[in-house]
Amino acid sequence: MVVAYILILLVGAVVLFSLEKLSVDLITLLLLLALVLPGILTPSEAFAGFGSDIIVILASIFVVSAGLQDAGVLDWIGGEMQRRAKVGTKTFLLSMMSVVGGTSAFMNNTTVTALFTPLVSGLAREGGVSPSKLLMPVAFASILGGTCTLIGTSTNVAVSGFIEHHGMEPLSMFEVTPIGLIILATGIAYMMLVGVRMLPDRRDADLAGGTEFRKYLSELLVLPGSPLVGQSLAESDLAILEFHVLKVTRDGSDIAAEPGVVFQAGDRVVVSGNLKNLMVVLAIEGLDMRADRRFGSDDMRAGDSKVAEVMVAARSSAIGRSIHDLDLLRRAGTSVLALYRHGQTVVASIESERLKEGDVLLVQAEPFRFPILQENFGLTVLEQVAATHPRPKRGVAVLAVFVAAVVCGSFGILPLSACFLTAAVATILMGAVSIERVYQFIDWRLLILIGGMTAFGVAMDKTGTATFLSGIIAQAFGPFGVIGILAGFFVLTILLTQPMSNAAAALVVLPVAISTAEMLGCNPRTFSIGVMLAASISFIAPLEPSCILVYGPGKYRFADFVKTGLGLTLVLGVVVLLLLPVFWPLY
């Protein structure tokens, strides 16, 4: 009876994860309650995962990653890539995927994709190449690079923690590096020889032409003392900057935008102009440019903020909502400056205009808030307009601290969790990242998912559900031998990563795989690592967070990922299944 209850919870979790009606952390907490309230798990068993070393390691890596981003390390890397190889060539593709994969070996792959997407998009536009030719390889390289070390992806860390709880030795820092490098090299070779021919070439003539060709709509407030006060529309600074004035609102009433209109303090002026001139207006004293705020409120600190273009991607929660409804200033610390809509004229108030897929917003915020726009609202960063100012000395310091943590942890000088926590604290103390940014940058939902799903795996073991399922799988795949059974778990994990996150899929399959290995007298570590790697080589659909991040900017379709990723998944599956027994014997 208990086994049936656990199976119902498992099926329910898979369905809820796939529907995406509830956030993954809320689903995980509901699962924990469903295990604790009936007494299947004690509170200490259910919540033990949240106090594990794994959570500390992941949170610390997020902190160091924030420091590296703020120091402009990745911007410097992008510049080096551009300097050494022409964008669009196979040499550039090789160097780009190698750099992204190498970076992802030591940082969360979703974070790496989020950091490199606007960088590579900008390089593509400067080089006259469609971003769709480069962004899918960025996502794939970040996922492949995550297989190279223990900390390369949250899936590896989660699996290591689970097998340690099961009585096995946890994964060492570089235990999976040999097979991980082979996986990365195979993936890069496939994309260069086969995948590049399948990548679509989708150019929006207006977007691809560069930011200077877009005509943004914005609303300006003429403040007392503004140089615009007393100027007529035809001879104003706005006319000199080639702005098209669409509407003037004074004391709540609209005034026809005629050449002889003289601007007064308090006027709200709706204008259309290119990005370069909008940036000039942004710097003019006495003019306030916002589309989403109550005019007269305190400005954000200009020295800490950057301007970026973000696009309303497919399935964005912003579609159908107005800038006013989104309230990004309060909810994400981001101010909307202007709106661009290709081929259409916005005639209503910018603040109340309902957003559509493909709309581009000009926003201003502290750089760390841009990934939040993607995660919470489906707004994809196209590129930062005002380049960040690299801080090489601070970047080198953060990098040195991180390398020291990796070395100390790898050689067992200190526990891995202590090493990375020390690196995180040092990053904060040296001023590379503020404590406020730390709490924004850490992916709390991922930490809750891993802590909770680890407990669910314990419940599957404790209730005998894992043993029950392992018997079914052993019977179904038994005629194909041990490799056939391992391949069955491999395929099952890949399929589950479609509706679920990689870490969740691995943690669901893991207890069953370990139980099956023990039943067959095989090495449970081989089965565990097989499941772990299977969760990281699924490229069939754009449901992995890294793929979702590039879906909008690359103008991809679902079929693009199936066409390009299916062959890659099959090739990597064969490679991993052949090499697993070589690195981790079956018996």
pLDDT digits (tens, 9 = 90+) for 75-120: 677 666 666 667 767 888 898 899 899 988 987 777 788 778 777 8
> How much of the chain is helix, strand and coil, in % rounded to 5?
60, 10, 30
Position 113, amino acid: T
Q: Which CATH class is domain 211-384?
A: alpha beta
CA-based nearest residue to 540, from 575, 507, 491, 579: 491
Q: What is the pLDDT of residue 584?
A: 95
Helix axes 109-126, 53-70, angle to 10 degrees: 20
Q: How confident is the model at residue 555 (pLDDT cuts 50, 70, 90)?
A: confident
d(C-alpha 61, C-alpha 153), whole Å: 10
- Are the C-beta atoms of 414 and 408 separated by less than 8 Å? yes
Total-model pTM: 0.65
pLDDT value of residue 346: 54
Tokens standing for residue 417: 């969790």
- Residue 374, classed as helix, strand or coil, is helix
Question: Token match 């974070």: residue?
Answer: 111
Whether residue 387 has pLDDT greater than 50: no
Only one residue has tokens 């935008």, namely 257
Instruction: Name every residue whose Cβ is closer than 8 Å to that of residue 446 and which is 6 or more positions away in sequence.
Output: 58, 154, 501, 503
Query: Which pairing describes strands 215-222 and 335-340: parallel, antiparallel, or unpaired?
Result: antiparallel
pLDDT at 281 over 50: yes
pLDDT of residue 241: 77
Q: How far is CA 336 from CA 207, 251, 323, in A?
A: 19, 23, 8
- Cβ atoms within 10 A of the Cβ of 476, count? 12
Residue listed under structure tokens 């492949």: 144
For residue 72, the model assigns a pLDDT of 67
> For 345-361, what is the mean pLDDT?
72
How many Å apart are CA 285 and CA 394, to the nearest integer?
33
**Could you tell me the two tokens for 44?**
């200490």
pLDDT at 194: 93
Task: Decide: residue 580, CB within 10 A, 0-12 exposed, 13-18 middle, 19+ buried.
Answer: buried
What is the SS3 assignment for 465? helix
CB proximity list for 482: less than 8 A, separation 6 or greater: 520, 522, 586
At a CB cut-off of 8 Å and minimum separation 6, what does 565 contact? 140, 539, 540, 541
Q: Give, rounded to a whole angstrom, the gap between the first and last alpha carbons of the chain.
A: 34
* Percent of the residues in the chain that have a pLDDT greater than 90, as a whole number: 19
What pLDDT is attached to residue 212? 46
Report the percentage of the chain scoring pLDDT > 70: 84
- pLDDT digit string (tens) for 148-158? 999 888 889 88
Q: What is the DSSP string of 509-559?
A: HHHHHHHHHHHHT--HHHHHHHHHHHTTS--SSTTSHHHHHHHTTTT--HH
- Residue 562: pLDDT band by 50, 70, 90 thresholds? confident
Give me the pLDDT at residue 251, please.
Answer: 85
The mean pLDDT value for 162-178 works out to 90
Between CA 219 and CA 268 the distance in angstroms is: 7
On the 0-12 / 13-18 / 19+ scale of CB atoms within 10 A, 205 is exposed
All residues at 6 or more sequence positions from 193 whose CB lies less than 8 Å from its CB, including other chains: none
Q: Is the pLDDT of residue 37 over 90?
A: yes
CA-based R_g, the chain, Å: 26
Average of per-residue pLDDT across 370-375? 74
- Residues ≥6 apart with Cβ < 8 Å to 438: 62, 63, 66, 424, 428
CA–CA gap between residue 437 and residue 319 (Å, rounded): 28
Judge whether residue 390 has pLDDT over 60.
Answer: no
Per-residue pLDDT, 368: 67
The answer on pLDDT for 371 being more than 50 is: yes
Q: What is the DSSP letter of 443?
A: -
- The pLDDT of residue 299 is 41
Pairing label, strands 360-365, 379-384:
unpaired
Q: What is the pLDDT of residue 538?
A: 86
Task: Check pLDDT > 90 for residue 304.
Answer: no
180-211 pLDDT, tens digit each: 999 999 999 999 999 988 998 876 544 444 44
Higher pLDDT residue, 543 or 497? 497
Give the separation between CA 120 and CA 96, rounded to whole angstroms: 9
For residue 298, is pLDDT > 60?
no
Work out the number of other CB atoms within 10 angstroms of the CB of residue 573: 18
133-137, 156-160, 162-166, 495-499: segment of lowest average pLDDT = 495-499
Q: How far apart are CA 182 and CA 145, in angstroms?
A: 10
Average pLDDT over residues 375-391: 63
- Kindly report the number of other CB atoms within 10 A of residue 468's CB atom: 16
With a cut of 70, say whether residue 448 has pLDDT above it: yes
Enumerate the domain spans of the chain.
1-55+73-203+445-587, 211-384
The whole-angstrom separation of Cα 251 and Cα 263 is: 12
pLDDT value at residue 474: 77
pLDDT at 431: 83
Give the range among 244-258, 274-288, 437-451, 514-528 with minimum mean pLDDT.
274-288
Q: Which residue has the higher pLDDT, 538 or 302?
A: 538
- On whether the CB atoms of residues 365 and 306 are closer than 8 A, the answer is yes
| Residues making up the chain, counted from first to last | 587
**Using 50, 70 and 90 to split pLDDT, how confident is the model at 243?**
confident
Average pLDDT over residues 556-585: 91
Average pLDDT of 377-389?
62
- What is d(CA 121, CA 382) in angstroms, rounded to the nearest whole number? 7
Name, in order, each residue with C-beta under 8 angstroms of 569's C-beta and a sequence gap of 6 or more: 494, 537, 538, 539, 540
Q: Of 84-88, 298-302, 487-491, 552-556, which range is least confident?
A: 298-302
Report residue 547 as tokens: 């793929």
Contact 368, 70 (CB under 8 A): yes
CA atoms within 13 A on the CB side of 193: 9
